[in-house]
Structure 1
Amino acid sequence: MGTVRQMITHEVLTNAIKNRLEVSQDVAQDLAFRVLNYFGFSDEIIDNVLDHDDRRTFYFLQDMQILTTHWEEALLPSGRIWRVFYWDLNTERILQYAASPSEDSRMEAGLYETLPEDVWSRSAA
């Protein structure tokens, strides 16, 4: 039998988006719903199904490491190469981002907020 892969649910993707993008629960839920409407029960979709706005969103999510891409090439009878592009859910990263942020990462993120304001001003030497 093959390996069992973790299915990305709406709740898991919502938590990953919320934690990674630092957005509200409502925004994360809407974005997760929008993404999963394309993927359904699959972890891969063909790029051709996306409209322009959603493709831009997918590129943003790729930058955030929530989605990845790959392509296949086919040789046409005319001799030209045809590329078919695909989007993939980055399951490993999504599960990682969906987990509650650790105490260490919260402390690290708050490091700059603890510095006094005069640290941020430049002075002529």
Structure 2
Amino acid sequence: MTVVTMQQVESALKKTVGKKGMSDEEIKNLADYLMSFFGYTDEVIDNRLTAEDRDVFYMLEEEGLLTSTQEEVLLKKGKLWRIHYWILKKDQIIRLAKSDEEGVEARDEAADVYGQLSDEEWARHKIVPEAQGSDKQPKPSDETN
């Protein structure tokens, strides 16, 4: 069983809710709060949560740190009983924490395409403005494409 540390949880929270304006103190409190439910287990039964707790869990689910599942149990009287669980996404927390430890953000491949262009390529497609006061649109400096 994989175990996540408080430092990893705090780091993952900084990468998610921290980018939305949550302070370091609030992140630390949220990490304590979250781990008070999970401890060393992977899941928490939903019946244990208050409405306020559930709101926090839904927010963390949107951030990708939690997920939920349900189990259906047939009771002796023939009734179907649904049990809902919240699952801590330890792999996601560890991945986010590891990118923090390495000092590297997970990069979006589509955004990285511009970083791969050479200075020569950028210079070739540089927009050069015409004489000032002209109503014409700027044109590329090299039109041999």
Which bin holds the TM-score, normalised by the shorter protein? 0.7 to 0.9
After TM superposition, the score normalised by the length of structure 1 is: 0.74
Could you list the per-position Cα deviations for residues 33-90 of structure 1 after superposition, in whole angstroms to 9, with x for gaps in the alignment? 0010111111111111111101100011011110011111111122221001111110
1:104 Cα deviation (Å)? 6.5
Kindly report the root-mean-square deviation, in angstroms, between the aligned alpha carbons of the 2 structures: 1.9
Alpha-carbon spacing, 1:27–1:105, altered in 2? closer, same or farther (3 Å): farther
Tell me if 1:87 matches 2:89: no
Partners of 2:92 and 2:106 lie apart in 1 by 18
Higher relative contact order (CA 8 A, sep 6+): 1
Match of 2:74 in 1: 75
Structure 1 runs (4+) deviating above 6 angstroms are none
Q: Which structure has greater helix proportion?
A: 1
Unaligned ranges ≥5, structure 2: 112-145
Determine if the alignment matches structure 1 residue 11 to structure 2 residue 10: no
Match of 2:44 in 1: 45
| Greater C-alpha radius of gyration | 2
User: Distance in 1 between the 2:37 and 2:89 partners?
Assistant: 15
Q: Which residue of 1 aligns with 2:28?
A: 29
Give per-residue Cα distances to partners, 1:4-46, cap 9 Å, x unaligned: x321111110110011122322111111100101111111111
Aligned positions, number: 103
Aligned-residue sequence identity (percent) comes to 33
TM-score (norm 2): 0.65
3-state secondary structure, aligned to 2:77: coil
> CA separation in 2, counterparts of 1:14 and 1:71?
27
